[in-house]
C-alpha cells in the first residue's frame, strides 16, 4: 500500500511539471489555448455583467404546465456558450454551421474533414485556430494520453459481458483520482482560479479518452493488446489507430467528421445538461462527464444510433437487397402499425433534416456511393418523411444524426454496435467540458430549478 501511495504521489508531482515543460517548449511555436483563454475570460466576464445589467429583467415568456409534464421541451432556462440549435437552420458552433466548419477549420495534410482539435479551440474561444495552433494541441493531447495503471487494471477486470458504455463511465469516474480541480479546491483555491484546474482536468480527460475507449474495445472485441499513442498523429488518427483502423485513411477522415459533428448540440440534451448540472455542484470534470455518459447511454439519446442500424439490417434481411420503394414503404408501415417508432427520425428541436445527417450523407456519397446499406438508407430517407406525415406520427418527420452514423461505421468494418455509443461519448466530451470551463470562469451557480407536485398544479389553477 505504501509503495502505491508513493507512486501516486510521484505521478501527481510529475504530471503538472511535465505539462508546464511541454507548454513552455511549445510557446515559441504558437500561443497556447490556455494562454488565449487567459486573455478572453476577463473580457467575457465583463460582457456577461453587461448583458445581465441590460437584460437581466427581461422575460423569455411564461412556462406552461404542458412543458413541465412534457420533459421541459422548449423551456428556455440554460446558458450554453459553445453552440445554439435553431429548429429550422440546425446547429451552429459559435456561429458557424457544419459546412462552414468543414470549410474554415484546419484539416490534416491530404484530408478534407475538420480536425476536432480545431473544433475544440472554436468551442472554447469562438475563434478559428491556425493549423499551427491545432498541431500544438494535437501534440499536447498525445503527451497527456497515458492513463494510470490502476485504471488500466480496472478496465481489464471488467467482464466482457459488461456493456462498453458502463465500462467507459466507470473508467472516466476513476480518472478523478488525479483531478487537479479537486486537489485545488481542497487546498482552498480562490473561486476566480477554478477555471484553470478545470481546464487542466478537461485537457487530461479529452486526451485520455482514446486510450480508455481503445482498451475497452480491444478487451471486449479483440485480443486485449493495445498499441501506443503516436505522438506525431492527430487525435482522430490516434483513436482510429487504437481501434485497429489507423491504416485506413478514409476511416480516419470519418472519425474527424464524426467527432466534430457529434461534439456539441447546445445545452438542453440529456448528456450536455447532465454534465452541466453535476458540474454546477463543483464536481470535477471527470465526475461531471461520467454522469453525462450515463445519460448518453440511454436508448432515447446516444444508444439510438445502434437501434437504427439494427432496424435497417432487419429490414434488409426481410425484404432483401435492391427492394422496391413499395416494399420499403410496407416495412415502414408495419413498424408503425406494430406500435413502434421509426428509429432515427424526428428530433426534439429540429424541424428539418439534421445537418449532421446531411454531412454524413455527403461523406457517403463521396466515399461509398455504391454500398448497398447506404443505398437503402437513402431510399428510406426518400420515403419515410411522407409516411410519417400521413401517419400523423411526427412534427418533424426528417432524419436526425443517428439515422446515418451506423451505416458508415459498418462499411469500414466496425460492426460492434455496442461500441457505437462509446464513440459518441468520446465526441460529446468536447462540448461538455468546454462549457464546464466557462461555467467555472463565469462563476455559474449551483443549478436548482423549482418543481411542483400535480396536486399543487391543480390547486394553482382550479377555478381560475
**Mean pLDDT in order along the chain per 10 residues (464 residues):** 42 47 51 94 94 88 84 86 88 96 97 97 97 96 98 97 97 98 98 98 98 98 94 97 96 98 93 97 98 93 85 92 93 92 82 90 96 94 92 81 92 95 97 98 94 88 80
Domain of residue 367, CATH code:
1.10.230.10
* Cα–Cα distance, 83 to 80 (Å, whole number): 7
Enter the DSSP assignment of 106. -
Site of grid cell 458502463:
166
The residues that are catalytic are 301, 347, 402
- pLDDT of 394 reads 67
- pLDDT of 212 reads 98
- pLDDT of 14 reads 43
Number of domains in the chain: 2
- pLDDT of 256 reads 98
Q: Which of 82, 83, 122, 86 is nearest to 104 (CA)?
A: 122
Are residues 269 and 405 part of one domain?
no
Are residues 396 and 283 part of one domain?
no
Residue 6 included in any domain: no
Q: Which three cell numbers stand for residue 209?
A: 479518452
- pLDDT of 29 reads 62
Residue 100 included in any domain: no
Domain limits at 365? 304-411
Residue 446 included in any domain: no
Residue 15 included in any domain: no
Are residues 327 and 400 part of one domain?
yes
- pLDDT of 68 reads 84
CB 371 within 8 A of CB 411: yes
The Cβ of residue 365 has, within 10 Å, a number of other Cβ atoms equal to: 11
* Cα–Cα distance, 205 to 201 (Å, whole number): 6
Q: Of the candidates 363, 395, 411, which is a domain's last residue?
A: 411
Are residues 365 and 280 part of one domain?
no
* Cα–Cα distance, 165 to 159 (Å, whole number): 13
- pLDDT of 207 reads 98
Are residues 164 and 278 part of one domain?
yes
Residue 421 included in any domain: yes
Are residues 291 and 257 part of one domain?
yes
Are residues 264 and 145 part of one domain?
yes
Residue 54 included in any domain: no
Enter the DSSP assignment of 77. -
* 240 exposure class (CB count in 10 Å sphere: 0-12, 13-18, 19+): buried
- pLDDT of 393 reads 66
Are residues 272 and 229 part of one domain?
yes
* Cα–Cα distance, 389 to 391 (Å, whole number): 5
Residue 255 included in any domain: yes
Strand-pair partners of 107: 114
Residue 429 included in any domain: yes
Domain of residue 196, CATH code:
1.10.580.10
Amino acid at each position: 500500500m505504501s509503495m502505491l501511495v508513493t507512486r501516486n504521489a510521484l505521478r501527481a508531482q510529475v504530471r503538472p511539471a511535465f505539462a508546464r515543460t511541454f507548454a513552455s517548449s511549445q510557446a515559441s511555436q504558437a500561443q497556447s489555448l490556455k494562454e488565449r483563454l487567459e486573455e478572453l475570460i476577463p473580457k467575457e466576464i465583463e460582457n456577461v455583467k453587461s448583458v445581465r445589467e441590460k437584460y437581466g429583467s427581461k422575460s423569455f415568456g411564461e412556462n406552461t404546465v404542458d412543458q413541465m409534464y412534457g420533459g421541459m421541451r422548449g423551456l428556455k432556462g440554460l446558458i450554453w456558450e459553445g453552440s445554439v440549435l435553431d429548429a429550422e437552420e440546425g446547429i451552429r458552433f459559435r456561429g458557424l454551421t457544419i459546412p462552414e466548419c468543414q470549410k474554415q477549420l484546419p484539416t490534416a495534410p491530404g484530408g478534407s474533414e475538420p480536425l476536432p482539435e480545431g473544433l475544440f479551440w472554436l468551442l472554447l474561444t469562438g475563434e478559428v485556430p491556425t493549423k499551427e495552433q491545432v498541431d500544438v494541441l494535437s501534440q499536447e493531447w498525445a503527451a497527456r494520453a497515458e492513463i494510470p495503471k490502476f485504471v488500466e487494471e480496472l478496465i481489464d477486470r471488467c467482464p466482457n459481458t459488461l456493456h462498453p458504455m458502463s465500462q467507459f463511465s466507470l473508467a472516466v469516474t476513476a480518472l478523478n483520482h488525479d483531478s487537479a480541480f479537486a486537489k485545488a479546491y481542497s487546498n482552498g483555491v480562490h473561486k476566480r482560479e477554478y477555471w484553470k484546474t478545470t481546464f487542466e482536468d478537461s485537457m487530461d480527460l479529452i486526451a485520455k479518452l482514446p486510450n480508455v475507449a481503445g482498451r475497452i474495445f480491444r478487451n471486449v472485441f479483440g485480443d486485449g493488446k493495445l498499441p501506443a499513442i503516436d505522438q506525431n498523429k492527430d487525435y482522430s488518427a490516434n483513436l482510429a489507430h487504437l481501434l485497429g483502423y489507423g491504416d485506413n485513411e478514409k476511416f480516419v477522415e470519418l472519425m474527424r467528421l464524426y467527432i466534430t459533428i457529434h461534439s456539441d448540440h447546445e445545452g438542453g440534451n440529456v448528456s450536455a445538461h447532465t454534465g452541466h448540472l453535476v458540474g454546477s455542484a463543483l464536481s470535477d470534470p471527470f465526475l461531471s462527464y461520467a454522469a453525462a455518459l450515463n445519460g448518453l447511454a440511454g436508448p432515447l439519446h446516444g444508444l439510438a444510433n445502434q437501434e437504427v442500424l439494427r432496424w435497417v439490417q432487419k429490414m434488409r434481411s426481410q425484404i432483401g437487397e435492391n427492394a422496391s420503394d413499395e416494399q420499403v414503404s410496407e416495412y415502414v408501415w408495419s413498424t408503425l402499425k406494430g406500435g413502434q417508432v421509426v428509429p432515427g427520425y424526428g428530433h426534439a428541436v429540429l424541424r428539418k433534416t439534421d445537418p449532421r445527417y446531411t454531412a454524413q450523407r455527403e461523406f457517403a456519397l463521396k466515399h461509398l456511393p455504391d454500398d448497398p446499406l447506404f443505398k437503402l438508407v437513402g431510399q428510406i430517407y426518400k420515403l419515410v418523411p411522407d409516411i410519417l406525415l400521413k401517419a400523423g406520427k411526427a412534427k418533424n418527420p426528417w432524419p436526425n444524426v443517428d439515422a446515418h452514423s451506423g451505416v458508415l461505421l459498418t462499411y469500414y468494418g466496425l460492426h460492434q454496435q455496442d461500441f457505437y455509443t462509446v464513440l459518441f461519448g468520446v465526441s460529446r466530451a468536447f462540448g461538455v467540458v468546454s462549457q464546464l470551463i466557462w461555467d467555472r470562469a463565469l462563476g455559474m451557480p449551483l443549478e436548482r430549478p423549482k418543481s411542483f407536485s400535480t396536486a399543487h398544479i391543480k390547486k394553482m389553477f382550479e377555478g381560475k
